[in-house]
C-alpha cells in the first residue's frame, strides 16, 4: 500500500485536471511526524481559486472528510497534513509480508528483460587477491538483486585468460618451469615465474620479443602453446573455484577473453569497413581525439589483438546471444578510460545499444598495512583473508558460545558474511581500508550484528511454540517503537529498487542494519513472549516479519543467515 499515492488520489478527486504524477511531485514529507506523515502545500491552488492558501487548505479538509487510510487530515497554515492511520498501515504492511514471505519486496519490473552482470573476472595464473573481492561481492549482490526483481539475470565471469602475459608465462615455463612444483601449488608458483620473467626482461629485452612470439603462436593455434595455456587455465580455475565456493558465488558463463579469439577478425573487418581504423606504424588504432580520449590500439603491428579488441567482440557477442536490456561491468575505477574508449567505439560502430552498457565502477580496497601489487609479488590472497575471518569468528564462538551446534558452518557463514558486509557497507566508488576489528565486531553496523539479530528473531520464534497468524489485534502495534519497525519494513521494496537502479548494494546493507537496530530498540522495551496472548501474538507477527525481511536482505547481499549463533 502506497500512502503517498493514496494522498495523491484523494487530491485528484478535488483537482481532476492534475495527473497523479503531478500531484505526487509536490507532496512533501513534513520534518517531524507530529506534523503528519505527508503534506500538500496549497499555494499552488491559490491562483485558481483566488483565495489564500490557508483558506483553501481549510476548504479541502472539509471536502475530504473521513478516510480509512488516514486517521487525521488537518490544515496547518497553507498546508494540508495527512496522518497515516497507524493501525491500518501496520495491518497493511504486516499482512503483505505474511502473505508474500521471502518474496516480500520483490516486483515484476524485470519480467522479460535480460540483465548481464559481468563480475569478478580474475586473471588466470595470477593471484585471486583482496583487490578482487570488491568486484566479486558487489557483482554477486547485483546479480541477486536483479534476479529478485524478476530480471533474467546472467552472471558472466570474463576471465582474463588471454593476452601477452600468456606469452610471458609460456616462455618463463619453458625456461625455468617444473610441472610437479606447479601442480602442488599452482598460483603462487606461476606467479613466481611471471615475476621472475618480468624482472629478468628488464635486463634482457629480447625476453619480451620471445613472449610476444609465444602469444602470437597461441593465437595461431600452436599445439604446444595451446596445451600449456589450457593447463595454466585449468589449475588456476581450480583455485578460483575454492574461493567462489566459500563466497557462495556461481556464474552462468565463464566466457573469458580467450572465448573471443575466433571472433576478433570479424570485429577488425567491421571496424575497417566502417572506416574507423587508422594505420599507426603498422598497428591499427581508432582515433578518439575528437572525444577527448586517447587513441585505442586495436591490433598490434605483429597482428595480435588486445584486451580492448576482446571487449568489443564480447559486447557484440552478448547483444547477439542474450539481447540484453542492460549489460553491466563491475570493474574497478582504474579501468575507467578503457571502458570509455571501447564504449565510444561501439557507439561509433552504430550500435545504439552501446547506451545500455554500463561500467559499474568501484574504488580501491587496501589493508591497514598498505596496498598490494602483483608485479612485485607482494600480495594478499583473498582465500587467506576469508580463512582468517572464519578462524577469528571461531575463536569468538569458542569463547562466547562453546556449545553451539554446527560451529564450523556458523563460523564460515559469519566470518565470510562479515567480510561481504564490510565490502558492501559504503557506496562503491569510495576507496576504503579493510579493518579486521571493524569487520568482525558484533556491535555497531556490522554483518555479525545483523546476523545476530536475525538469529535472535529465530530463537524467539522457535521458543514461542506458537503458530504465527496474521489475524491479530493490530492496534497493539501502533505504539511508537513497533510502528517505527514496521515503517522501516515498508521501505524495503524501495530500497531494493533503488539498489538496482543505481547498482548500489550498499542501500540494502544500510537498510538491513537500520531494520536490525529498530527491531532491537523494540525488543529491549517490549518483551515478546508475555503471558497476555493478544500482545504476544501481535509481537510475534512483528518478529516474524523482521525475520523474513532480514533474511531476504542478507541473501541479496550474498550472505547466509544462520539460525543460531
Ligand atoms: N581481468 C581484468 C582484471 O583483472 C578485469 C576484466 C574486466 N572486464 C572486462 N570486460 N574488461 O583486471
Residue having the nearest C-alpha atom to atom 11 of ligand 1? 311
In the structure grid, which three cell numbers stand for residue 369, read together?
Answer: 598495512
- Residue 306 near ligand 1, beta carbon < 6 Å: no
Which set of grid coordinates corresponds to residue 166?
600468456
Torsion from C-alpha of 324, 335, 277, 256, nearest 10 degrees: -50
pLDDT at 9: 96
CA of 331 to the centre of ligand 1 (A): 7
Report the pLDDT value the prediction gives residue 200, as an integer from 0 to 100: 95
**Residue of the CA atom closest to atom 6 of ligand 1:** 121
Question: What is the assigned CATH class of domain 3-84?
Answer: alpha beta
Each of the 565 residues of the chain gets a pLDDT tens digit; together they read 689 999 999 999 999 999 999 999 999 988 887 899 999 999 989 888 899 999 999 999 999 998 989 999 999 999 999 999 999 999 999 999 999 999 999 999 999 999 999 999 999 988 888 778 999 999 999 999 999 999 999 999 999 999 888 999 999 999 999 999 999 999 989 999 999 999 999 999 999 999 999 998 998 899 999 999 999 999 999 999 999 999 999 999 999 999 999 999 999 999 999 999 999 999 999 999 999 999 999 999 988 889 999 999 999 999 999 999 999 999 999 999 999 999 999 999 999 999 999 999 999 887 776 655 444 556 778 898 899 999 999 999 999 999 999 999 999 999 999 999 999 999 999 888 888 788 878 788 999 999 999 999 999 999 999 999 999 999 999 999 999 999 999 999 999 999 999 999 999 999 999 999 999 999 999 999 999 999 999 999 999 999 999 999 999 999 999 999 9
Contact of 263 with 317, CB cutoff 8 Å: yes
3-state secondary structure of 433: strand
As a whole number of angstroms, the distance between CA 255 and CA 235 comes to 17
Q: Which residue lies with its CA nearest to atom 5 of ligand 1? A: 121
Residue with CA closest to ligand 1 atom 4: 122
Residue 299, ligand 1, Cβ within 6 A: no
- Is the minimum distance from the CB of 121 to ligand 1 under 6 angstroms? yes
Distance 138 CA to ligand 1 centre (A): 15
Among 331, 360, 379, say which to mutate for ligand 1: greatest number of ligand atoms within 8 Å of CB. Answer: 331
Active site residues: 126, 129, 132
- Name residues whose C-beta falls within 8 Å of residue 381's C-beta, 6 or more positions apart in sequence: 127, 128, 129, 130
Segments making up each domain of the chain, as ranges: 3-84
- Report which of 123, 164, 125, 159 is spatially closest to residue 303, judged by C-alpha positions: 164
The predicted pLDDT at position 202 comes to 94
425 pocket-lining for ligand 1 (C-beta < 6 Å): no
At 374 the pLDDT is 45
pTM summary value: 0.91
Amino acid at each position: 500500500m502506497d500512502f503517498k499515492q493514496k494522498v495523491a488520489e484523494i487530491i485528484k478527486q478535488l483537482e481532476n485536471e492534475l495527473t497523479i504524477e503531478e500531484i505526487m511531485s509536490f507532496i512533501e514529507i513534513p520534518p517531524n511526524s507530529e506534523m503528519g506523515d505527508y503534506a500538500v502545500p496549497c499555494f499552488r491552488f491559490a491562483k485558481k481559486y483566488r483565495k489564500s492558501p490557508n483558506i483553501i487548505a481549510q476548504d479541502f479538509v472539509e471536502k475530504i472528510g473521513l478516510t480509512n487510510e488516514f486517521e487525521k487530515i488537518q490544515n496547518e497554515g497553507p498546508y494540508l497534513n495527512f496522518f497515516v492511520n497507524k493501525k491500518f498501515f501496520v495491518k497493511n504492511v504486516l499482512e503483505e509480508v505474511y502473505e508474500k514471505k521471502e518474496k516480500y519486496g520483490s516486483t515484476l519490473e524485470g519480467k522479460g528483460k535480460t540483465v548481464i552482470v559481468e563480475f569478478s573476472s580474475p586473471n588466470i595464473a595470477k593471484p585471486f587477491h583482496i583487490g578482487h573481492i570488491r568486484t566479486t561481492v558487489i557483482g554477486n549482490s547485483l546479480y541477486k538483486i536483479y534476479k529478485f526483481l524478476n530480471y533474467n539475470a546472467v552472471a558472466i565471469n570474463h576471465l582474463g585468460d588471454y593476452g601477452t602475459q600468456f606469452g610471458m608465462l609460456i616462455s618463463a615455463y619453458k625456461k625455468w618451469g617444473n610441472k610437479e612444483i606447479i601442480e602442488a601449488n599452482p598460483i603462487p608458483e606461476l606467479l613466481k615465474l611471471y615475476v621472475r620473467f618480468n624482472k629478468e626482461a628488464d635486463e634482457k629485452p629480447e625476453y619480451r620479443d620471445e613472449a610476444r612470439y609465444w602469444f602470437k603462436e597461441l593465437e595461431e593455434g600452436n599445439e604446444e602453446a595451446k596445451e600449456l595455456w589450457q593447463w595454466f587455465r585449468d589449475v588456476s580455475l581450480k583455485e578460483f573455484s575454492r574461493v567462489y565456493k566459500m563466497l557462495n558465488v556461481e556464474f552462468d558463463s565463464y566466457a573469458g577473453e580467450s572465448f573471443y579469439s575466433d571472433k576478433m577478425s570479424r570485429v577488425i573487418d567491421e571496424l575497417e569497413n566502417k572506416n574507423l581504423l587508422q594505420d599507426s606504424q603498422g598497428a591499427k588504432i581508432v582515433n578518439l581525439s575528437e572525444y577527448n580520449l586517447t587513441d585505442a590500439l586495436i591490433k598490434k603491428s605483429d597482428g595480435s589483438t588486445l584486451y580492448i579488441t576482446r571487449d568489443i567482440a564480447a559486447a557484440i557477442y552478448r547483444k547477439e546471444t542474450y539481447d540484453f536490456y542492460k549489460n553491466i561491468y563491475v570493474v574497478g575505477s582504474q579501468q575507467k578510460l578503457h571502458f570509455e574508449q571501447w564504449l565510444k567505439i561501439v557507439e561509433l560502430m552504430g550500435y545504439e545499444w552501446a547506451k545500455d552498457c554500463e561500467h559499474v565502477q568501484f574504488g580501491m580496497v587496501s589493508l591497514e598495512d598498505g596496498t598490494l601489487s602483483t608485479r612485485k609479488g607482494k600480495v594478499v590472497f583473498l582465500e587467506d583473508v576469508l580463512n582468517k575471518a572464519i578462524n577469528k569468528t571461531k575463536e569468538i564462538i569458542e569463547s562466547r558460545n562453546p556449545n553451539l551446534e554446527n560451529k564450523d558452518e556458523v563460523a564460515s557463514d559469519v566470518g565470510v558474511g562479515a567480510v561481504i558486509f564490510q565490502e558492501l557497507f559504503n557506496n562503491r566508488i569510495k576507496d576504503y581500508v579493510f579493518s579486521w576489528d571493524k569487520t568482525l565486531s558484533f556491535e555497531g553496523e556490522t554483518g555479525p550484528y545483523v546476523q545476530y539479530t536475525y538469529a535472535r528473531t529465530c530463537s524467539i520464534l522457535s521458543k514461542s511454540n506458537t503458530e504465527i497468524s496474521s489475524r491479530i489485534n493490530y492496534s497493539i502495534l501502533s505504539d511508537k517503537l513497533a510502528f517505527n519497525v514496521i515503517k522501516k519494513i515498508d521501505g524495503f521494496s524501495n530500497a531494493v529498487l533503488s539498489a538496482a537502479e543505481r547498482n548500489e548494494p550498499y542501500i540494502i546493507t544500510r537498510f538491513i542494519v537500520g531494520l536490525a537496530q529498530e527491531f532491537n530498540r523494540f525488543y529491549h522495551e517490549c518483551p515478546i513472549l508475555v503471558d497476555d496472548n493478544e500482545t504476544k501474538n501481535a509481537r510475534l507477527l512483528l518478529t516474524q516479519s523482521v525475520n523474513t525481511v532480514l533474511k531476504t536482505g542478507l541473501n541479496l547481499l550474498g550472505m547466509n543467515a544462520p539460525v543460531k549463533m
